Amino acid sequence: MMLTIPDVLTVGQLRQCREALARAAWHDGRQTAGHVAIRAKANLQLAQDDPLVARLGALILERLGANPRFLAAALPLKVLPPRFNCYTGGGVYGDHIDNAVFSVPGTSHRVRSDLSATLFFCDPDEYDGGELVIRDTYGTQRVKLPAGHLALYPGTSLHQVTPVTRGARYAAFFWVQSLVRGDSQRATLLELDESIQALAAERPDSPLLERLTGVYHNLLRHWADT
């Protein structure tokens, strides 16, 4: 299931991020690709030890930590610190599936990539191409979101970024280890959570609220993998 998390960043935060990324020291993205992915990857990326990566990454994680839709959809247990890339001049990343497990730089911790995330810093009319094409059990989806919006999708998905033939596409990307490993179980919990919220808004005194909330937590207790 692919979900959109809108307005992760404010207009002011987007402007500051864009200005910083435009001045950043970019490197060949193939330096971080595995032996298979390196044949499909042609983009630019910031070094993981670049202070800008830590600064912008902390901002993104702070915003997501206060975003109800992200928390409800991802049920995050661990989040790999965001990384940053740029596609321009024909930059492309062909079909690939992300690594199953990532090491957190500078630590002994590891994050299982239950969910992949891409946060867009550019509006669609600023560049040609650069679509995130996701193929999974729900079919093929072509994603090109407004600046400040985030695409969240299963880490098991085959996906690519189509060539950017005009302008530049800046984005942050990272992975989430969820409390609930299975995509279908997370989708069920999200639908139940949204139904509870809708019922609470329409009928705040309904006796069903307590029962449905109990069902939600019992399912989460059954499926949670901590």
> Binding-site residues for Fe cation, please?
96, 98, 159
Q: Please, which residues have CB within 8 angstroms of residue 28's CB and are 6 or more apart in sequence?
A: 44, 45
Report residue 146 as tokens: 């407004």
Residue 66: Cβ within 10 Å count = 8
> Contacts for 23-30 with beta carbons within 8 Å, 24 or more apart?
24/50, 24/52, 24/84, 25/50, 26/86, 29/85, 29/93
Q: How far apart are CA 56 and CA 16, in angstroms?
A: 10
Helix 51-65 and helix 11-22, axial crossing angle in degrees, nearest 10 = 160
Q: Using CA atoms, how far apart are residues 9 and 44, in angstroms rounded to an integer?
A: 22
Strand partners, 189: none
Burial of 102 (0-12, 13-18, 19+ CB in 10 A): buried
Annotated binding residues for 2-oxoglutarate? 169
Q: Pairing mode, if any, of strands 41-42 and 3-5?
A: unpaired
Binding residues: 96, 98, 159, 169
